[in-house]
């Protein structure tokens, strides 16, 4: 009888320990996701998710930045700065990604001042559209701006509009602010040929480029935005300027 009581007590203890382990494990996982989310927007939300196996071993482990050779060629992507600059910064971003907006606000000014304007590096932007229809619309519009040599001005205008939404406490994702009317007005403000821009946008002339960027994303193992590479090395934290300075001398 005593042995049976001890066995029942031990069984209850084991169940309690397992239950505690689940709670603790779940808490650790949640904390990890929160930390990861503070650095970049993890894909899987919106209308597109990263395909299984997209990582291809290219994601860095702690303290060991990876070197990527696929998906980073410039191709038809827009370039900011001297095309012959010795270093190449490649950013994968979505125009509706809140952390990409933060990256534009917090990091772009210093990156441009320290590396692009000094001729040390050039910057390449590959537009992703995984958050929703307004991401696709913004991507198509930006490609039409690229055709008239105005991509980067258009890029800045979109992110500034997204930042204004956030500053006003509004939902910036698929909120209805990135409309054709907004894009056309922006094109007009930038002195573009509005008729040419509108035709390009209506015909979705930029779709092939967006499709290629999505393929590049898969090839490079990109799983969140913003993701930044310098000369093929993925930065573990694109918001840490020291990581740029360590590569771009």
Domain ranges (residues) in the chain: 1-38, 41-247
Q: Which of 111, 248, 114, 94 is nearest to 178 (CA)?
A: 94
User: What Rg value do the Cα atoms of the chain yield, rounded?
Assistant: 22
Judge whether 58 and 217 are in contact, CB under 8 Å: no
Q: Which of 214, 237, 235 is nearest to 47 (CA)?
A: 214
Residues 6+ apart with CB under 8 A from 163: 101, 104, 105
Structure tokens at 222: 């990109």
Judge whether 151 and 93 are in contact, CB under 8 Å: no
Homologous superfamily of the 41-247 domain (CATH): Glutaredoxin (3.40.30.10)
Residue 44: DSSP 8-state = T
Q: How many CB atoms lie within 10 A of CB 25?
A: 10
The answer to pTM > 0.85 is: no
**pLDDT tens track of the chain, all 249 residues?**
544 444 444 444 344 444 443 333 443 333 333 334 444 555 544 333 332 233 333 333 334 456 888 999 999 999 999 999 999 999 999 999 999 999 999 999 999 999 999 999 999 999 999 999 999 999 999 999 999 999 999 999 999 999 999 999 988 788 899 999 999 999 999 999 999 999 999 999 999 999 999 999 999 999 999 999 999 999 999 999 999 999 999
Judge whether 186 and 157 are in contact, CB under 8 Å: yes
Residues 6+ apart with CB under 8 A from 127: 93, 94, 95, 138, 139, 142, 143, 209, 210, 213
């Amino acid at each position: 009888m005593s042995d049976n009581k001890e066995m029942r007590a031990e069984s209850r203890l084991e169940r309690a320990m397992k239950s505690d382990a689940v709670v603790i494990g779940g808490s650790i996982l949640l904390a990890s996701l929160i930390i990861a989310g503070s650095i970049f927007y993890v894909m899987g939300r919106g209308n597109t998710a990263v395909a299984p196996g997209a990582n291809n071993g290219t994601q860095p482990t702690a303290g060991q930045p990876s070197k990527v050779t696929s998906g980073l060629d410039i191709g038809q992507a827009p370039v900011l700065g001297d095309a012959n600059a010795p270093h190449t910064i490649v950013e994968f971003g979505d125009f509706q990604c809140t952390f990409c907006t933060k990256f534009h606000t917090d990091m772009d000014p210093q990156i441009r001042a320290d590396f692009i304007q000094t001729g040390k590096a050039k910057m390449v932007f590959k537009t992703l559209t995984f958050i929703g229809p307004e991401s696709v619309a913004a991507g198509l519009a930006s490609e039409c701006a690229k055709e008239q040599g105005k991509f980067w001005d258009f890029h800045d205008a979109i992110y500034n509009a997204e930042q204004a939404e956030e500053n006003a406490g509004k939902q910036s994702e698929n909120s209805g602010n990135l409309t054709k009317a907004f894009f056309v007005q922006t094109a007009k403000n930038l002195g573009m040929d509005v008729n040419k821009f509108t035709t390009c946008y209506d015909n979705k002339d930029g779709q092939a480029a967006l499709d290629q960027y999505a393929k590049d994303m898969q090839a490079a193992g990109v799983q969140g935005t913003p993701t930044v590479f310098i000369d093929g090395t993925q930065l573990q934290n694109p918001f840490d300027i020291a990581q740029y300075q360590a590569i771009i001398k």
